[in-house]
C-alpha cells in the first residue's frame, strides 16, 4: 500500500529532518514546498513562471498557485507509491485541495510533531546553517557535514524573532490541526526526545493509520 504522509510542526521541531528520514527509509519522495517551487521556476513550467513573478515581487505565493505546483508534483510517477509532504498544506484551503487530489487507495497519515516552546527557542537560537548549501548543521558541528561549508546563524533564529515566529505559527496553524484532528489517521508525536525516538513514533503512527484503513 502506498505511504502518504503529511508532517506538521512548528519551526525547530525537526519536521524537515524527520520527513527526509522517513521518505528515505520508505523509498518515497520527500516533497517540500520550497524545493518544488525552486524546481518549477528552474524548469520554466507555466506554474513556475507564475511563482517566479510572485516571489520576485516579494508577495506570498497564493493558495491556488501553491496547490497547482503540488498537484503537478504529485502527478509524477515516483509519487505513485507514496510521498512525504513537508510544508504543505499550510492552510485549510490547501488541505481540502489535497484531499481532492488523492484517491482512496491509501490513507493520508498526518503527524503533528509537538515540542514545548522553551525547547524550540533553545534549539533555534543555537541552530547554525551552512552558508553555502543551507543544510542545518548538527549541534556543535564546526562545518557542514554535507559540503564542508562554513556555518552561520539565520537572521530569523534570533530569540526574539523565534518567539514571534512561534506565535504566528500557532495562530496560523491551529485551524489546520483542527481540520485533521478528528481523523483516525491523525497523530501527535512528542518531538522533545531523541531524533531516533521521534522517528520511531512517526513510523508507529503511520503504521497505525494504515492498519485503520485496511
Selecting among 38, 52, 71, 154, the annotated active-site residue is 154
User: How far is C-alpha 173 from the chain's CA centre?
Assistant: 13
Rounded Cα distance, 153 and 109, in Å: 33
Q: Of residues 71, 90, 163, 183, which has the active-site annotation?
A: 90
- 90 labelled catalytic: yes
Residue 15 a catalytic site member: yes
Dmax (CA) for the chain in angstroms is 48
Has 165 been annotated as catalytic? Answer: yes
* Integer Cα distance of 100 and 204 in angstroms: 26
User: How far apart are alpha carbons 35 and 56 in whole angstroms?
Assistant: 16
Count of alpha carbons within 13 angstroms of residue 19, beta-carbon side: 27
Which position among 30, 73, 123, 165 bears the catalytic label? 165
Report residue 4: phi and psi, to 5°.
-120, 120
Structure letter (DSSP) for residue 95: H
Instruction: Kindly provide the b/e burial profile for residues 158-173, where b requires at least 16 CB atoms within 10 angstroms of the residue's own CB.
Output: eeeebeebbeebeeeb
CA distance 128 to 146: 13
Among this protein's residues, is 73 annotated catalytic?
A: no
Q: ω before 78 within 30° of 0 (cis)?
A: no
Whether 81 sits among the annotated catalytic residues: the reply is no
Active-site choice (52, 71, 81, 127): 127
Give the span between the Cα atoms of 6 and 88, in whole angstroms. Answer: 7
Of the residues 15, 26, 123, 187, which is catalytic? 15
Task: State how far the Cα of 11 lies from the Cα of 163, in Å rounded to an integer.
Answer: 10
Q: Cite the active site residues.
A: 15, 90, 127, 154, 165
Amino acid at each position: 500500500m502506498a505511504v502518504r504522509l503529511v508532517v506538521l510542526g512548528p519551526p525547530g521541531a525537526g519536521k524537515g529532518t524527520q520527513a527526509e528520514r522517513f521518505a528515505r527509509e520508505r523509498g518515497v519522495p520527500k516533497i517540500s514546498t520550497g524545493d518544488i517551487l525552486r524546481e518549477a521556476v528552474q524548469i520554466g513550467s507555466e506554474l513556475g513562471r507564475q511563482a517566479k513573478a510572485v516571489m520576485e515581487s516579494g508577495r506570498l505565493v497564493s493558495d491556488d498557485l501553491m496547490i497547482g505546483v503540488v498537484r503537478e508534483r504529485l502527478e509524477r510517477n515516483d509519487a505513485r507509491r507514496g510521498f512525504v509532504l513537508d510544508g504543505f498544506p499550510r492552510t485549510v484551503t490547501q488541505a481540502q485541495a489535497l484531499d481532492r487530489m488523492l484517491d482512496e487507495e491509501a490513507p493520508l497519515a498526518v503527524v503533528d510533531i509537538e515540542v514545548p516552546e522553551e525547547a524550540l527557542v533553545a534549539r533555534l537560537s543555537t541552530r547554525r546553517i551552512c552558508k553555502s548549501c543551507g543544510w542545518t548543521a548538527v549541534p556543535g558541528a564546526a562545518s557542514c557535514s554535507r559540503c564542508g561549508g562554513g556555518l552561520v546563524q539565520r537572521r530569523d533564529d534570533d530569540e526574539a524573532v523565534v518567539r514571534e515566529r512561534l506565535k504566528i505559527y500557532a495562530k496560523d496553524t491551529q485551524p489546520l490541526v483542527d481540520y485533521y484532528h478528528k481523523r483516525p489517521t491523525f497523530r501527535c508525536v512528542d518531538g522533545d526526545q531523541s531524533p531516533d525516538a521521534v522517528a520511531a513514533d512517526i513510523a508507529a503512527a503511520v503504521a497505525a493509520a494504515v492498519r485503520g484503513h485496511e
